[in-house]
Amino acid sequence: MAEQLNYVSAVNAALHRAMRGSSDAILFGEDVAKPGGVFGATKGLHLDYGRRVFDTPISEAAILGAAVGAALRGKRPIVEIMWADFALVALDQLVNQAANVRYLSNGSQCAPITVRMQQGHLPGSCAQHSQCLEAFFAHVPGLHVAMPATPEDAFHLLLTAIATNDPVIVIEHRGLYFGPKAEVTTEGPVQPIGGAVVRRPGRDVTVVSWGAMLHRTLDAAELAATEGVEVEVIDPRWLSPFDVETVVASVSRTSRAAVVHEANVTGGFGAEVVARVSDAAFHDLDAPIARIGLPDVRVPAAPHLQQAVVPSPRSIADAIVELCRR
């Protein structure tokens, strides 16, 4: 069955399906039950699933720690951290606790936890509500990281996360929640973890991008096409596990590559993409791989100041065209 859903409705539909599908699934976080989540992602769930859906205090360490403990005792917790920035106050429970469970127990225990959070800037969002932190999580062995960019992926990556027997961080983007509806296949099997998708084919340059920046990259590809540059856009969808093969296969045809993300450039996951592609396809490259991201500044609140630092379709297109002329 396919439904027309926007991104946040797709999240909601996936949560309904997961809660319906497993009596071990429990869902909690700040304002997720009666209020339905600050963005409505969890709307209505508490009505259908009773005690398995509940509001918590503003206590990220308790939310994530309780998820670990409940998982150790057979539950499949799905928790919401309202803003990715807020995960920073409770990283211990993700990095020191959840990520260690399987390894430390030599595989005898696991922590099937899904942590939903959303990130990124929107006009006016302050520096503590704008950061893109995916590289933090992708750095940690034991955690998986999903970066859905479309309603279809908002649904399926979340379902996959919930079905995975290890902690998965699903990083949504607030700027995508209320975007256009798209057809979402809401039935059928849960997809396997990982796997990149070619969002636009092109022969001249491979550009890897995820999250909200994927859409700016697709717009940039249109602009570049008017200048005679055909861009292949790849959406990795998962940063951990990262599907380097799909990217390398593309680069071996195009001979040029760039990576675009909303996170700061230094230590961003783009650096990892550059390293892995260089390792695998160094001799196929006609130019160094370009990294396009937020320069190493904090995120200002004023919209015009944000625009001055966040990559735009125009600035991305210019960087790609320049790369192709090197």
- Name the nearest CA neighbour of 316 among 247, 238, 263, 261: 261
Query: Which residues in the 57-76 window bind another protein by CB under 8 A?
Result: 57, 59, 61-62, 64-75
Report the alpha-carbon distance of residue 245 to residue 268 in Å, rounded. Answer: 20
How do strand 168-173 and strand 144-146 relate by DSSP bridges? parallel
Closest CA to 211 of 139, 280, 266, 138: 138
Binding mask 226-255 toward another protein (x if CB under 8 A, else -) reads ------------------------------
Q: Is-contact 240 225, C-beta < 8 A?
A: no
- Residue closer to another protein by CB (options 84, 95) is 95
54 binds another protein (CB under 8 A): yes
x/- map, 112-151, another protein, by CB under 8 A: -----------------------------xx-x-------
> Binding residue for another protein (CB under 8 A) from 110, 197, 248, 249?
110
Catalytic residue at 129?
yes
Contacts with another protein in 2-31 (CB under 8 A)? 26
Catalytic residue among 46, 129, 144, 156: 129
- Smaller CB distance to another protein: residue 104 or 297? 104
Is residue 56 part of the contact set for another protein (CB under 8 A)?
A: yes
Which stretch in 119-127, 159-167, 183-191, 267-275 sits in contact with another protein by CB under 8 A?
159-167
177 within 8 A of 152, measured Cβ to Cβ: no
CB of 55 to another protein, least distance (A): 10
Minimum CB separation of residue 100 from another protein in Å reads 8
C-alpha–C-alpha distance, residues 63 and 27, integer Å: 10
Cis bond before residue 241 (omega within 30° of 0)? yes
- Told to check if 96 binds another protein by CB under 8 A, we report yes
Alpha carbons 274 and 291: distance in angstroms, whole number:
8
Written as six digits, the tokens of 221 are: 């590809």
Q: Which residues contact 231 (CB under 8 A, 6 or more apart)?
A: 200, 202, 204, 205, 207, 217, 220, 221, 224, 225, 320
Contact (Cβ atoms closer than 8 angstroms) between residue 291 and residue 274:
yes
**Phi (first) and psi of residue 244, to 5 degrees:** -70, -25
Residue 180 in the binding site for another protein (CB under 8 A): no
93 by DSSP, 3-state: which?
helix
Q: How far is the CB of 171 from another protein (least distance, A)?
A: 18
Q: Which stretch binds another protein (CB under 8 A): 96-104, 123-131, 250-258, 267-275?
A: 96-104
Q: CB-based contacts of 106: which residues, under 8 Å, 6+ apart? A: none
Count of positions on this chain that bind another protein (CB under 8 A) = 43
Residues that bind another protein (CB under 8 A): 26, 51-52, 54, 56-57, 59, 61-62, 64-75, 77, 90, 92-93, 96-97, 100, 102-110, 141-142, 144, 164-166
Give me the active site residues, please: 129
